[in-house]
Chain A
Amino acid sequence: MVQYKEVAISEFFEKNSHLLGFDNPTKALLTVVKEAVDNSVDACEEANILPGIIVKIKSVKKDVFQVTVEDKGPGIEEKYVKKVFGKLLFGSKFKSLGEAGMQSRGQQGIGISASILYSQLTTGESALIESKVKNKMHYSCRLIIDTSKNIPIIEDEKKIESVKEQGTKITLKLKGVYRRVKGPEGFLKYVAIANPHAQITFFSPEGNKKVFKRVITKLPKKPKKVKPHPHGVELGTLIKMLARTKSRTLQAFLMNDFSKVGNTGAKEICDLVKLNLQTRPNAITREQISKLMDSMEQVKLQRPPTDCLSPIGEENIIKGLRKEYPADFVAACTRPVAVYRAIPFQIEVGLVYSKELPIDKQVNLVRFANKVPLFYQQSECGIYKAVVKTQWKRYGLQQPSGSLPIGPLVLAVHVASIWVPFISEGKQAIAPYPEIVKEIKLALSELGRKLQRYLSAEQRKYARERKRKLYERYAIEVATSLSNITGKNKDDIMGLLKKEIDKRGR
């Protein structure tokens, strides 16, 4: 990717649209919605505003739709509009592995620009950007990208007074296919589950309005930027970091460019690799770098910092699932922060059991990466692999070998990380790193045990209920017979029987 930066990135896009989620018209429509919504939610959270988002999809003509995404976020200053929307790879979120990072929805920062580009390529129309920053004029413009020079061109700028307080609105026209099932509405439902603090209103092309309600009014804790942790750092990354570092000594490099490395840690690493603390980072040979990596791995250090992550939280997952599904039983599990390749990550799993869901179908697996739903490439995803590898039969569910369990369940799995290892730029499947799969399996088995307890309690309840009904049914016959045999009042006998049945029903 990086080498394309200087040449026309938009040419790269045209050749590689599949990597960015625009490989077919159905997916393209979904990707546009997803990128715009991701941006809105992130912008609101950064400005400490509870996200309120309106998504509108209008049918323009056959296979052409107009998508409008509007938020009540902080708005974008006029001078940044060009940069935010126009230049591929500019976005504030772009960073490469090894730099200080934090958990955010987008990762490469090309999403919204790619959407604008796709819109432009398929309909020839520019994007309409509207922005209102607090106490400023309402700004609007049309934006088009010069694909050979990779620069945005702004047209039709307008500034007007507006009563609207603040917010951003983007309107795009694009070629796409709208699907009711597993389309934008389903996507927004999943967004609502992972973001119960957001209120999302959706207008479908058929003119239906659907509101995904906000159920919590507290913003999630903001993730912090963190430096990489020495454990599990990859050779390529380390080489890159050594080449780029501003530190002048190895000691300073270790202490400044990594987290959780102090004087002692740095000394221990250097001793192990037999390098002087004062060695200049750019003077270290390839061979030494490889040894350095080994010793960084061996030295005992504190775990990576965990405050860089912003999990949804067990309580919120339960609330999010409950509001979107009819539920008889809901449980959630947030695992402690773990590390893969020196990158902190955290697994969260939610589970819904509902008698209203089909009992003979595979469970509905909903995958999230940094609170963003993943829609495609399910079977290639580490989350899917972890669910399949879990022994669901132990927890009272059927599971054909090598596939998802069967039952009236929704399983939501969230991977939060400062760097989610997607298997491709389409960002639809998470690489099955053993550490990640293991953590997911641990969380799943915890919920599995809870589910099993619930199911056996349900079974007992059901058995009790059946027993009670059986006794009640026969009690009428017994009371009639007893009354005829003894000449005593039938209702009195029935009353005595009822009392006994109640006593046993408890």
Chain B
Amino acid sequence: MDKSTREEIGKEVIKRLKEKFGEALIANLKEEEALSLDIIVRAFSNIIFDEREQLIKLGSKTQSRAFFNVGQTRVFMQTLLVANACKSLIESGKTTSIRSLYYSTKHNIGNTKENTFEEQGESNPIIEDIEVNINALREELHLRANSKGAMVGNLTIIDSGDEIDLRKMGSGGWAVPSIVEPHTIQFKKCDAKFVLFIEKDTVWGRFNEDKFWKKHNCIIVHGGGQPPRGVRRVVKRMHEELKLPIYVLVDNDPWGFYIYSVVKQGSMKLAYESARMAVPDAKFIGLSSYDQEKYTLPDEVTIKLNDGDKKRIKELLNYKWFQKKEWRKELESMLKKGVKLELEALSSKNIAFITDTYLPEKIERKEWLS
């Protein structure tokens, strides 16, 4: 997408910002109505699971945020400060991190010692409120999240005009930026047949070192644990635009399994972005709770579940989006066995077992969950 399209989007977002966080409020004031914003609730109470689309979404519950309410007046004021900062940012044509946006809105109020914001924890949720309430993407507000995650594989891309061959990225790979929208990142030449999403960068490093992507003609990507927006979005785009299947490889513990769910169905925190982020077709390739027997891994490579793990498993089992039979079997078996298994445990066979044997076999035999 070119520069003019970007400006177009910017104008549209500003228009919505101006209406919701400006004109409507001044109209309130003039008509002597309560100075108040209706804000879509982002809490668990407003999270729904769309069975048909298999996506976590935000419901339609709203909550008023009023200036003339002692409990809400501060966050009301902060909301306008952030809205104003976003508008200026878009107008300037620059992008910035959410941390520097926090600093740009933080100052003393009048001649008091009170700050508009005391910590970034106050400003981050407001940014999300604004995204939801004017239905704008974070990228469209010109805001960057922290970027983490890397990608290599049989793909050539254009990043801000620079052509990048993801086959020649050395050991570190291409760092996935937080803004990966078509106006910044374009796909040029793709020979890959699938995308392997790996939970951890260390395991991803093993795959890259072994040139797994070359042997098996794919793209490998990791999100450094819970994947950031940029990684999720680029995975989604590869799936949609390049028609590549997505395989997810995570630790065999509730946290790994949840990462799979996030890639596939979306997260609660970004429930409003699920449609743009989630890949409902994503397949869970491992590690499965049954892999220990299947690959005859010794007992000493397993780790006992701690209380936090057990609690988390039970929590997941209660989510509406964790009710698939096979998913429940995985989690219940994990709980029954009382152990978890890290990806690195496969190295007990031999160091290249995961790349040479485990994964090719799984893909070959279509041993996955979906």
Q: A residues touching B (Cβ–Cβ < 8 Å)?
A: 467, 470-471, 473-474, 476-478, 480-482, 484-486, 488, 493, 496-497, 499-500, 503-504
Contact = CB atoms under 8 A, between A and B. Distances in A.
Top 10 A-B pairs ranked by shortest CB distance? A485-B22, A481-B80, A486-B22, A481-B84, A496-B29, A474-B77, A484-B84, A477-B77, A485-B84, A478-B77
Contacts of A481: 21, 77, 80-81, 83-84
B88 A484 contact: yes
Interface string B6-32: 000000000001100111011001101
A485 B110 contact: no
A486 B87 CA distance: 10
A488 B26 contact: yes
B292 interface: no
A163 to B, nearest CB: 65
B75 to A, nearest CB: 10
A500 B26 contact: no
B84 A476 contact: no
A492 to B, nearest CB: 9
A132 to B, nearest CB: 66
A60 B159 CA distance: 102
B116 A477 contact: yes
B84 A470 contact: no
A474 B22 CA distance: 16
A83 B192 CA distance: 129
A495 to B, nearest CB: 9
A482 B80 contact: yes
Nearest to B25: A482
B310 interface: no
A478 B22 CA distance: 10
B243 to A, nearest CB: 42
Interface string B105-134: 000011010101000000000000000000
B74 interface: yes
B358 interface: no
9 contacts: A467-B70, A477-B109, A485-B22, A485-B83, A486-B26, A493-B29, A496-B26, A500-B32, A500-B35
Contact of B109 (A474, A482, A484): A474
B67 A474 contact: yes
B70 to A, nearest CB: 6
A500 B87 contact: no
Interface of B: 17-18, 21-23, 25-26, 29-30, 32, 35, 67-68, 70, 73-74, 76-77, 80-81, 83-84, 87-88, 109-110, 112, 114, 116
Majority secondary structure of chain B interface residues (helix, strand, loop or mixed): helix
A473 B112 contact: yes
A477 B68 contact: no
Nearest to B87: A485
A496 B30 contact: yes
Contacts of A500: 29, 32, 35, 68
Contacts of B29: 493, 496-497, 500
Contact of B80 (A473, A485, A496, A504): A485
Contacts of B77: 474, 477-478, 481
Nearest to A504: B68
Contacts of A493: 26, 29
Contacts of B21: 481, 485
A481 B67 CA distance: 13
Given A486-B18, A496-B29, A478 B67 contact: yes
Contact of B81 (A470, A477, A496, A497): A477
A503 B67 CA distance: 14
A500 B67 CA distance: 11
Contacts of B32: 499-500, 503
Interface centre among B32, B76, B84 (most CB of A within 10 A): B84
B67 A471 contact: yes
Nearest to B29: A496
Contacts of A474: 67, 73-74, 76-77, 109
Contacts of B22: 482, 485-486
A476 B107 CA distance: 13
Given A481-B81, A482-B26, 16 more contacts: A470-B70, A471-B67, A471-B68, A474-B73, A476-B110, A477-B109, A478-B67, A478-B80, A481-B77, A485-B18, A486-B18, A488-B26, A496-B26, A497-B35, A500-B32, A500-B68
Nearest to B20: A485
B76 A478 contact: yes
B80 to A, nearest CB: 4
Contacts of B112: 473
A486 B195 CA distance: 46
A478 B110 CA distance: 12
Nearest to B14: A485
Contact of A470 (B18, B73, B80, B88): B73
Contacts of B70: 467, 470
Nearest to A497: B29
Nearest to A474: B77
Contacts of A484: 84, 87-88
Given A485-B84, A485-B87, A496-B30, A473 B114 contact: yes
Contacts of A470: 70, 73
Nearest to A470: B73
Interface centre among B21, B77, B83, B112 (most CB of A within 10 A): B77
A80 B76 CA distance: 85
A467 B69 CA distance: 9
B115 to A, nearest CB: 11
A504 B21 CA distance: 23
Contacts of B17: 485
Contacts of B23: 486
Nearest to A480: B84
A475 to B, nearest CB: 8
Contacts of A503: 32
Nearest to B116: A477
Nearest to B81: A481
Nearest to B17: A485
Contacts of A467: 70
Nearest to B67: A478
Nearest to A477: B77
A488 B21 CA distance: 13
Interface centre among A482, A496, A503 (most CB of B within 10 A): A482
A496 B67 CA distance: 13
A484 B26 CA distance: 12
A504 B35 CA distance: 12
A497 B28 CA distance: 10
A481 B88 CA distance: 11
A493 B26 CA distance: 7
A499 B84 CA distance: 23
A496 B29 CA distance: 6
Nearest to B109: A473
Contacts of B87: 484-485
A476 B110 CA distance: 8
A504 B84 CA distance: 27
A456 B336 CA distance: 61
A491 to B, nearest CB: 13
Contacts of B35: 497, 500
B145 to A, nearest CB: 24
Contact of A471 (B26, B73, B81): B73
A65 B230 CA distance: 93
B17 to A, nearest CB: 7
A476 B116 CA distance: 11
A478 B75 CA distance: 11
B199 to A, nearest CB: 41
Contacts of A497: 29, 35
